[in-house]
Amino acid sequence: MKIPICLVVNGERHELEAGPQETLVEILRERLHLTGTKEGCGIGDCGTCIVLMDGVPVNSCLVLAGDLQGRQVLTIEGLDEDGKLHPLQESFLEKGAVQCGFCTPAMILSAKSLLDRDPAAGEEEIKRALSGSLCRCGSYKKIVEAVQAAGEKMGGKRQ
Amino acid sequence: MKRIRPFRYVEAFTVREALEILAEEKEGAYPLAGGTDLLVRMKRGDLAPRALVNLKRIPGLDGIDAGAGGDIRIGALAPIAAIVDAPLFSAGQRVLAEAAGVLGSPAIRNLGTLGGNIGRASPACDMAPSLMVLQARVLVEGLRGKREIGIGEFFKGPGSTVLDPGELIISFLLPSPASGTGAAYERVGRREGMDCALVGVAASVTLSGNDRELKDARVTLAAVAPVPLQARRAEEVLLSGPLTEARIGEAARAAAADCFPISDMRASGAYRREMVRVLTCRAVARALRSAEGGKD
């Protein structure tokens, strides 16, 4: 059994047929070859596979093909504009917030969803927004610093 | 890549249609809401449904709106994230938003639904204690018709509810709490994000009249019994006189004495029992401050 789906990933429209048991992370990695999205635990615990769906973070390992019809998905590959890195990507590099890099796409996308709403988000809000992703290198401190720095670049003014 | 075994996928466009498909497929079919629990069990191999019936195409099942008679109606498919931000809640009802705000993670809250969280009937369910102090009713529908069930009577055991096979949760009805009601939810996990509750405690307090006399008090506990538990003796203690710190402490000890915590890899039973005492004190104190008109 295959179901037809039409979705927009990083601004590009895709029409494909998928098995109903296929999850968004499978479709992104294996059909669209967007391997920036990583699968960690596969059961919604580690948050490594987080992408933005209609602007909000979701665990792509827990979204079935049938729920993708008409959706807008943003992955880490869609963040730069004409080769220019997003402020979050720049800040992650500047602050050294990347060690092994496995959690980085999810951290950056969760952070984007927060900063798009509130570029002035403080440390506690940032920690809460990123609480669904594990970093086994333990780079949390630098990740939070990088998100704060990106927020400032995006126009957020802290008191 | 953790994969799911193939299944027949059906989209229902009305509740009736969903009920008919579920009845046809009998035990082999599961309703699909947020999927944050169902897909995990399928990936782990604990469940291998023949068919999934996706409920998300049914219009109106995910709304949060003013229902009849001053009730607030929360559709079964309302995402947990929508409950965190729901503007309709009165001061006394905001305890439900508070509980929603500590469930899982932001990404899980965007997917998971209230109906799924309650229908799963996990003893550690974060949403049940608040629904219980708010005396919510669960509207369910089967092929034989609709019925309302008090949330306190809804759970039978871990993973088990009073729903008949083929019945679906349609919505939750929150009655408007009496004026002068404050409520709070306290929980501990091993860490703040993405951990199921070791203990969750919801409390509500209603004060009335110029003398701010205590009219009602409710305490409910999660993760310390096979089902979410109303701490009746703690409520009786609270209602037996003025709400002094000593009385709140005595009620908290009663709540701790009356629950049935297990020991597992997350925490010992003794630790959970002590946390029931601590969190009951905190939740009642915060509910009282809120009822007295303080911010919290």
CB A136 within 8 A of CB A104: no
**ipTM reported for the complex, 2 dp:** 0.96
Chain A: closest CA distance from residue B103 (Å): 11
For chains A and B, CB pairs below 8 A equal 102
Confidence of residue A94 (pLDDT cuts 50, 70, 90): very high
Scanning the structure block, which residue is given the tokens 């959970």? Answer: B272
pLDDT in the model for residue B130: 97
What is the distance in angstroms between the Cα of B45 and the nearest Cα belonging to chain A?
Answer: 12
Q: Does the beta-carbon distance from B81 to A110 stay under 8 Å?
A: no
| Mean of pLDDT over chain B | 94
SS3 B142: strand
pLDDT per residue as tens digits for the range B53-80: 999 999 999 999 998 888 999 999 999 9
Name every chain A residue with its beta carbon within 8 A of the beta carbon of B39.
23, 43-44, 61-62, 64
Residue contact B1–A64, C-beta within 8 A: no
Q: What is the pLDDT of residue B296?
A: 46
Query: Which DSSP letter does residue A157 get?
Result: -
Q: Band of the pLDDT at B294, cuts 50, 70, 90?
A: low
pLDDT at position B286 is 97
Q: Chain A: residue nearest B44 by CA?
A: A43
Does A126 have pLDDT greater than 50? yes
* Average of per-residue pLDDT across B221-248: 96
The predicted pLDDT at position B180 comes to 93
| pLDDT in the model for residue A158 | 59
Best residue in B8, B9, B10 to probe A by mutation, most A CBs within 10 Å? B9
Measuring CA to CA, which residue among A111, A79, A82, A80 is closest to residue A95?
A: A111
Using DSSP, state whether A12 is helix, strand or coil: strand
Q: How much of chain B, in percent, has pLDDT values that exceed 70?
A: 98
pLDDT at B70: 85
The token pair that represents B76 in the structure block? 């079964």
B35 touches chain A (CB under 8 A): yes
Instruction: Please give the pLDDT value at position B210.
Output: 78
Could A132 and B56 be called an inter-chain contact, meaning their C-beta atoms sit closer than 8 Å? no
Indicate the pairing of strand B137-142 with strand B145-150: antiparallel
Predicted confidence (pLDDT) per residue in A51-90, tens digit: 999 999 999 999 999 999 999 999 999 999 999 999 999 9
Contact between A151 and A119 (Cβ < 8 Å): yes
Candidates B58, B62, B105, partner chain A, best to mutate (most A CBs within 10 A): B105
Residues of chain A with Cβ-Cβ distance to B1 below 8 Å are 25-26, 29-30, 39, 42
Residue in the structure block whose two tokens are 């498909």: B21
Residues of A within 8 A of B43 (CB-CB) are: 42-43
Whether B113 contacts chain A with CB within 8 A: no
Interface test with B, best of A33, A54, A59, A143 (most B CBs within 10 A): A59
Minimum Cα–Cα distance from A29: chain B residue: B1
Q: Is B75 on the interface with A (CB under 8 A)?
A: no
Q: Of A59, A10, A56, give the one whose Cα is nearest residue A34.
A: A10
Q: Does residue B190 sit at the A interface (CB-CB below 8 Å)?
A: no
Task: Decide if A23 touches B, using CB distance below 8 A.
Answer: yes
Whether B46 and chain A come into contact, CB under 8 Å, resolves to no
Asked whether the beta carbons of residue A42 and residue B104 sit closer than 8 angstroms, the reply is no
Cα dist. A48→A71, B149, B193 in Å? 20, 39, 14
Which residues does chain B have within 8 Å of residue A50's beta carbon, measured at their own beta carbons?
Answer: 107
Mean pLDDT, residues B108-112 taken together: 98
- B5 chain-A contacts, CB cut-off 8 A: 21
Do residues B12 and A27 touch, judged by C-beta distance below 8 A?
Answer: no
Residues of chain B with pLDDT > 90, as a percent, come to: 88
User: CB A59 to CB B43 under 8 A?
Assistant: no
- Mean of pLDDT values over B84-96: 93
Dump strand ranges (E) for B50-180.
Answer: 51-54, 64-66, 72-75, 137-142, 145-150, 155-157, 160-161, 168-174
Is pLDDT of B295 > 70?
A: no
Q: Using an 8 Å CB-CB cutoff, list chain A residues near B44.
A: 43
pLDDT per residue over B176-200, tens digit each?
999 999 999 999 987 766 677 899 9
Q: Tell me the average pLDDT across B133-150.
A: 97
- Residue B83: pLDDT band with limits 50, 70, 90: very high
Instruction: Identify all chain A residues contacting B3, using CB atoms and an 8 Å cutoff.
Output: 21, 26
Report the alpha-carbon angle B197-B199-B201, nearest 5. 110
3-state secondary structure of A33: coil
> Are B6 and A20 a contacting pair at CB < 8 A?
yes
Burial-class residue A120 by CB neighbours within 10 Å (0-12, 13-18, 19+): middle
Torsion of CA B8, B79, B191, A118, to 10 degrees: 130
- What's the average model confidence in pLDDT over A109-123? 97
Residue B176: partners with Cβ closer than 8 Å, 6 or more residues away = B70, B71, B72, B90, B93
Nearest Cβ partner for A59 among B44, B52, B107 = B107
Label residue B159 by pLDDT band (50, 70, 90). very high
Q: State pLDDT tens for residues B21-50.
A: 999 988 899 999 999 999 999 999 999 999
Higher pLDDT, B212 or B262: B262
